[in-house]
Amino acid sequence: MGISLERPKKWAEFSLGAVTAALITNSLLRLDGVADSLPSPFERPRSDMDFGVLELGVSDDLAVWSERTTRILTEHADLLHRMRSAGTKLTLFVESGSPVLRFEPSFLQALAAADVALEYSHVNT
């Protein structure tokens, strides 16, 4: 019995028959503890909630999604810094049908530099 060096399919983009499922099925930047009104493009899911979100969408390419998310964090860096200084907690929520996602160190460093926590949720698709 030999050792297979083939990467398990569950670690990569996966396929359901002829249809390729999105690797990232939902993603958003959540801002907890926001008392004031939110500047665009952030919004509250409901007016009585003390948090806001920025929808980041779905993607079937983790590298492209990571680059886009890093660019969005960079574009809003000053605003996010002011919000963190006022006590807002930032969380990047990522949902995927893939049981394993491998984030590159540069992406994790960008999150850490922006003081953004990462929350991952696996959903069965």
> Is the model's pLDDT at 74 over the cut of 90?
yes
Quote the CA–CA distance of 115 and 98 in Å, as a whole number.
26
According to the model, what pLDDT value does residue 21 have? Answer: 53
Supply the mean pLDDT for the chain.
82
Helices 62-75, 105-113: axis angle to 10 degrees equals 20
Q: Where along the chain do its domains lie?
A: 21-122
Lookup: tokens for 54:
């920025």
DSSP state of 47: T
Q: pLDDT at position 124, please?
A: 84
Distance from C-alpha of 64 to C-alpha of 27, rounded to nearest angstrom: 13
Structure tokens belonging to residue 106? 């540069």
Token pair in block for residue 58? 């779905």
8 Å CB contact between 93 and 52: no
* Length in residues, the chain: 125
pLDDT at 125: 66
Q: Look-up: residue for tokens 């990467």?
A: 7
The whole-number pLDDT of residue 72 equals 94
Q: How far apart are CA 3 and CA 18, in angstroms?
A: 29
